[in-house]
Amino acid sequence: ASFWPLAPTSTQEKLLGGLLVPGFDEGSCLSRYHSAFYRKAMARSPSPHLVKRLREHEALQRRCGPGTEAYRAAAARLGSSWHGDGDGSDGAACRYLVLVPYRGLGNNILAMASAFLYAVLTGRALLLDRTTSPGDIFCEPFPGASWLLPRSFPVRDLQNLTGEVPESYRYLVQGDGDGAPAPAAAASSAVPRRRRRQYVFVDLDHSCTYHDKLFFCDDEQRFLRRAPWLLMRTDGYFVPALFLNPAYQEELDALFPRKDAVFYLLAHYLLHPTNKVWGLITRFHDAYLRNADERLGIQIRVFDGDAPFQHILDQILACTSQERLLPDVVMQEPRHPPAAGGARSKAVLMTGLSSWYYENVRWKYWQSATATGEAVSVHQPSHEEHQLSGYTTHDMKALAEMYLLGMTDKIVTSGWSTFGYVGSGLGGLTPWVMFRPENHTAPTPPCRRARSMEPCMHGPPFYDCRAKQGADTGKLVPHVQHCEDMSWGLKLV
Ligand code: GDP
């Protein structure tokens, strides 16, 4: 009953419904054109408008990317000073968004997808700071143009920029006087109103301020239009906030007629694991998952420390039992003879830093027979014990595991975890989310089916761009709602 891998029946399928362009060297990045062989079907198809805009954006990256005259000129201007007008204001000049991703790989991936959408919406070329590992574990997404920020980029130490730097968007907004409400802090700000900025830095760290978050209401006309260089630090998924900005509404509607698979489509366009990672993915899949009748992913992320916790194991078992994702076990050995074609098989892919949960689940189904007669096999690719983000081999395993989670049929994830968001989002799978335990007790209910496969935005704005006042941003439009796992978070549904 195995259906993996499927041979895509048409070029269109191999190119993921037009998301991808042909013409890349296939061998240098096998995952790009081979991923369709490992997927049943696209969970959502790209709209014709999205496909058109992606092609336009590729042309922009080619026109403006590293190695072009436009890039050289823009980088040289950055070395001097931008006076706030003039440079970059004519439509043909290139404008840039430099993304500085940080924290864990799941965070990085969500940041990359969000920044890419913002770059498409605002006509900026996206360049990626290469201090962290994404440049080593993903292929180049744009044909004929690199998305890696050249090492000669004049602004140094990008990883150390914070919202406190004079170039910060927060001071730009505070200095404006009208439109954005300026609290007392703005008046006392040491930053002169019309200082010479070489670039604008947008801090979207989860600790960013009210003024930083006004970025989400910026229509690009007012503050950012003329800034050729926008540098951005973010560790999360900010796409839901873009859907709250009236300036982008029409375009986003055309790009994504269905709002529940924005990350899925962006990730499949942008993120292609390098050959080494693809080897980790396909070999594990072929060895342990491919031949099962059904695959279940269980992603375990514990935020209270790396030691094993009984209440987390209890939560996993309660969730998979109550939601009928795994069969119950019986105490007696079954008396009936084995089925002719062999038992129905269920492969469970578990991921986590610890192997303790995996050992326990595996023992459960080794020690006892299932009530359904199914044969349950349990697998875990790695147990790294501790988070070591930034180390290439560690991050390669993390990416391989997120990707493998996305190759299952059903998935249980840990609330609050961007690792889990990426796993389910990549797979086009609406997860069962385990709520984050409090006081070391398994919550009741242990988990709940999410409303969509979209990631949760953890640090959303609480400001209504239209009304220009504070608001419950989970109530402004039907397709942006609060998350299942984080009551103040926002997600697309
Ligand atoms: P989050 O912290 O759960 O939101 O996810 P992140 O991916 O941003 O950061 C957690 C990091 O810890 C990952 O990127 C990995 O480096 C590591 N990690 C956590 N869980 C796992 C896992 O199940 N497998 C592997 N290989 N690494 C993990």
Distance, CA 398 to ligand 1 centroid (Å)?
A: 6
| Mean pLDDT across 446-460 | 97
Distance, CA 205 to ligand 1 centroid (Å)?
A: 18
Backbone angles phi, psi at 82, to 5 degrees: -100, 130
Q: Is 417 in the pocket of ligand 1 (CB under 6 A)?
A: yes
| Whole-number pLDDT of residue 337 | 82
Judged against a pLDDT cut of 80, whether residue 318 lies above it is answered with yes
| Mean pLDDT across 389-411 | 96
Q: Kindly report, residue by residue over 342-377, the tens digit of the pLDDT.
A: 899 999 999 999 999 999 999 999 999 999 999 999
Q: Is 107 in the pocket of ligand 1 (CB under 6 A)?
A: yes
Q: Kindly give, in sequence order, each residue whose CB lies less than 8 Å from that of residue 106, ignoring residues fewer than 6 positions away.
A: 398, 402, 417, 418, 419, 420, 421, 422
What structural domains does the chain harbor? Answer: 43-270 (no CATH), 275-330+342-492 (3.40.50)
R_g of the chain computed on alpha carbons? 24
With cut-offs at 50, 70 and 90, classify the pLDDT of residue 196: low
| Mean pLDDT across 403-431 | 98
Q: Is 235 in the pocket of ligand 1 (CB under 6 A)?
A: no
With cut-offs at 50, 70 and 90, classify the pLDDT of residue 176: low
Calculate what percentage of the chain has a pLDDT beyond 90: 80
| Whole-number pLDDT of residue 8 | 66
Judged against a pLDDT cut of 90, whether residue 107 lies above it is answered with yes
Judged against a pLDDT cut of 60, whether residue 63 lies above it is answered with yes
Q: Is 294 in the pocket of ligand 1 (CB under 6 A)?
A: no
With cut-offs at 50, 70 and 90, classify the pLDDT of residue 419: very high
Judged against a pLDDT cut of 60, whether residue 5 lies above it is answered with no
Global pTM value: 0.93
Q: Is 398 in the pocket of ligand 1 (CB under 6 A)?
A: yes
Which range, of 7-16, 107-116, 352-361, 388-397, averages the lowest pLDDT? 7-16
Distance, CA 415 to ligand 1 centroid (Å)?
A: 13
Instruction: State the distance between the two ends of the chain, measured CA to CA, in whole angstroms.
Output: 33
With cut-offs at 50, 70 and 90, classify the pLDDT of residue 274: very high
Backbone angles phi, psi at 453, to 5 degrees: -85, 5
Q: Is 394 in the pocket of ligand 1 (CB under 6 A)?
A: yes
Distance, CA 110 to ligand 1 centroid (Å)?
A: 13
Angle between helices 418-427 and 105-122 (to 10 degrees): 60
| Mean pLDDT across 274-282 | 98
Chain mean position to CA 99: 14
Give the whole-angstrom CA distance, residue 37 versus residue 127. Answer: 30
Judged against a pLDDT cut of 80, whether residue 184 lies above it is answered with no
With cut-offs at 50, 70 and 90, classify the pLDDT of residue 92: low
Distance, CA 402 to ligand 1 centroid (Å)?
A: 9
Q: Is 458 in the pocket of ligand 1 (CB under 6 A)?
A: no
Give the whole-angstrom CA distance, residue 369 versus residue 375. Answer: 8
Higher pLDDT among residues 477 and 335, named by residue: 477
| Mean pLDDT across 167-193 | 59
Chain mean position to CA 392: 18
Interstrand relation of 469-470 and 463-464 (parallel, antiparallel or unpaired): antiparallel
- Testing ligand 1's pocket by substitution, the residue of 419, 421, 433, 485 carrying the most ligand atoms inside 8 A of its CB is 419
Distance, CA 1 to ligand 1 centroid (Å)?
A: 33
Q: Is 413 in the pocket of ligand 1 (CB under 6 A)?
A: no
| Mean pLDDT across 309-321 | 98
With cut-offs at 50, 70 and 90, classify the pLDDT of residue 10: confident
Backbone angles phi, psi at 33, to 5 degrees: -100, -5
With cut-offs at 50, 70 and 90, classify the pLDDT of residue 434: very high
DSSP states along 349-372: EEE-S-SHHHHHHHHHHHHSEETT
Calculate what percentage of the chain has a pLDDT beyond 70: 91
With cut-offs at 50, 70 and 90, classify the pLDDT of residue 266: very high
Which range, of 23-27, 171-175, 217-221, 389-393, averages the lowest pLDDT? 217-221
| Whole-number pLDDT of residue 189 | 43
Give the whole-angstrom CA distance, residue 305 versus residue 128. Answer: 31
H or E segment and range at residue 462: none
Distance, CA 51 to ligand 1 centroid (Å)?
A: 32
Length of the chain in residues, anyone?
Answer: 493
Higher pLDDT among residues 78 and 472, named by residue: 472
Computed over every residue of the chain, the mean pLDDT equals: 91
| Whole-number pLDDT of residue 155 | 94
Which range, of 185-189, 257-261, 413-417, 458-462, averages the lowest pLDDT? 185-189
With cut-offs at 50, 70 and 90, classify the pLDDT of residue 15: very high
Higher pLDDT among residues 431 and 38, named by residue: 431
H or E segment and range at residue 97: strand 96-101
- Determine the 3-state secondary structure of 430 from DSSP: coil
| Whole-number pLDDT of residue 7 | 63
